[in-house]
Amino acid sequence: MTDDDDDDFDLDLFLPYLLNQAAEAAGRDFQAVYKARYGIGRSEWRVLFHLGQDGPLTAKEIASRAMMHKTKISRAVAALAVRRFLTRERSETDRRCEHLHLTPAGQAAYRDLRREAARYDARLVSRFAPEESAQLRTMLRRLSGAR
Amino acid sequence: MTDDDDDDFDLDLFLPYLLNQAAEAAGRDFQAVYKARYGIGRSEWRVLFHLGQDGPLTAKEIASRAMMHKTKISRAVAALAVRRFLTRERSETDRRCEHLHLTPAGQAAYRDLRREAARYDARLVSRFAPEESAQLRTMLRRLSGAR
DNA sequence: CCTTGTTAGTTACAAAATCAACCATTAGCA
DNA sequence: TGCTAATGGTTGATTTTGTAACTAACAAGG
């Protein structure tokens, strides 16, 4: 029998592990920015960005784009509404769902953080060659199940 | 002024976001395996793997390798001890720390999950060319701050 | 020895995530 | 119509995680 105790596995090369470590490391500092500047958490940040980028959306639409659970969305939206970063407008055609709009304050926060995100991203990929980072993004998208 | 509303930023290309999505997607199915099979969570799994791979370690050593906070380690170790996957042995030379050993049951679980992990990893990278996935791992390591 | 400081690890409490149950509304269809 | 099922969204209970404060042991300098 081949040695059962030593097949070719190295934890430090295990992809889910690597991805977690990298995601955590990459997210930490940026998280500190939006937390310190607007007192919001990750869910709130995501909702803010999706709304800022893709116009008014319903909670359901955000959930499917961000692959977030609906309770997270619900609470994030509530928190952003308290901060007057968005307004909810019940749909006329289907009164179950509501369209979420960023207020001017919300848009301002979005633009500010987007600028910050762009700089942060640039700093992250500065260690790589341009076509390397492009390929990295492509591969990550594929892993995310994106098309 | 250049249009403030449209600098070149796309959320779906933002690295921390991509990394999170990919990490979540990649981790989900494997998490289901060790959860269903041994009823342990991510922290427990990590501790188990570090111990299985790098022999007896103290909590501190695991923390530095896995970049996990010590409270997570502490709880994960406690949970694994309850399941009799490891034993704690107080150090003679420094009675603050304890050396953590996997029990035979712990080693069996480790080997089983390692095998599973290897297969899982292989399946993940099967979508990429071999040198692509190698490069991916390298870049992720760099992002994690690893040397 | 006795401070003072540091380190390994645990515990207590707050914030966040998960899960299930729950309205209100709409859709399918007899 | 009127029944049932499904959907968008919220809420509450439970668990998980993160943050501080804490204990116990060591270390260094007086």
pLDDT at res. B3: 47
Give the pLDDT confidence of B130-141 residue by residue, as tens digits. Answer: 999 999 999 999
pLDDT at res. A8: 81
pLDDT in tens, chain A (147 residues): 444 556 789 999 999 999 999 999 999 999 999 999 999 999 999 999 999 999 799 999 999 999 999 999 999 999 999 999 999 999 999 999 999 999 999 999 999 999 999 999 999 999 999 999 999 999 999 999 865
Cα nearest neighbour of B15 on chain A: A121
User: Is A29 an interface residue toward B (CB < 8 Å)?
Assistant: no
Q: Are residues A20 and B11, on separate chains, in Cβ contact within 8 Å?
A: no
User: Residue A142: its chain B contacts at CB < 8 A?
Assistant: 127-128
For residues B79 and B111, give the distance between their C-alpha atoms in angstroms, rounded to a whole number: 19
Higher pLDDT: A55 or B82? It is B82
pLDDT at res. B6: 60
Q: Does domain B20-143 have CATH number 3.40.640.10?
A: no
A41 touches strand C (CB under 7 A): yes
Q: Are residues B142 and A127, on separate chains, in Cβ contact within 8 Å?
A: yes
Q: Is A87 helix (H, G, I), strand (E, B) or coil?
A: strand
The strand D neighbours among B residues 55-94, by Cβ under 7 Å, are 69, 71-72, 75, 94
Q: Is A43 helix (H, G, I), strand (E, B) or coil?
A: helix
CA dihedral B12, B14, B17, B22 (to 10 degrees): 70
A46 touches strand C (CB under 7 A): no
- Which whole number is the average pLDDT over B66-72? 94
Give contacts of B 44-73 with A, CB under 8 A: 46, 49-50, 53, 67
**Interhelix angle A42-54/A15-38, nearest 10 degrees:** 80
Give the pLDDT confidence of B83-126 residue by residue, as tens digits. Answer: 999 999 999 999 999 999 999 999 999 999 999 999 999 999 99
* Residue–nucleotide distance: B91 CA to C2 C1' (Å): 26
Task: Name the closest residue (CA) to the C1' of nucleotide C15.
Answer: A41
Cα nearest neighbour of B133 on chain A: A139
Nearest to A7 among B8, B115, B127 (CB): B115
Query: Band of the pLDDT at B50, cuts 50, 70, 90?
Result: very high
Size of interface A-B (CB pairs under 8 A): 144
Identify the architecture of domain A26-143 in CATH: Orthogonal Bundle (1.10)
pLDDT at res. A4: 52
B42 touches strand D (CB under 7 A): yes
Give the start-to-end residue ranges of the domains of chain A. 26-143
pLDDT at res. A3: 46
Is a pLDDT exceeding 70 seen at residue B1?
A: no
Three state DSSP letters for chain B: CCCCCCCCCCHHHCHHHHHHHHHHHHHHHHHHHHHHHHCCCHHHHHHHHHHHHHCCEEHHHHHHHHCCCHHHHHHHHHHHHHCCCEEEEECCCCCCCEEEEECHHHHHHHHHHHHHHHHHHHHHHCCCCHHHHHHHHHHHHHHCCCC
- Which whole number is the average pLDDT over B4-24? 88
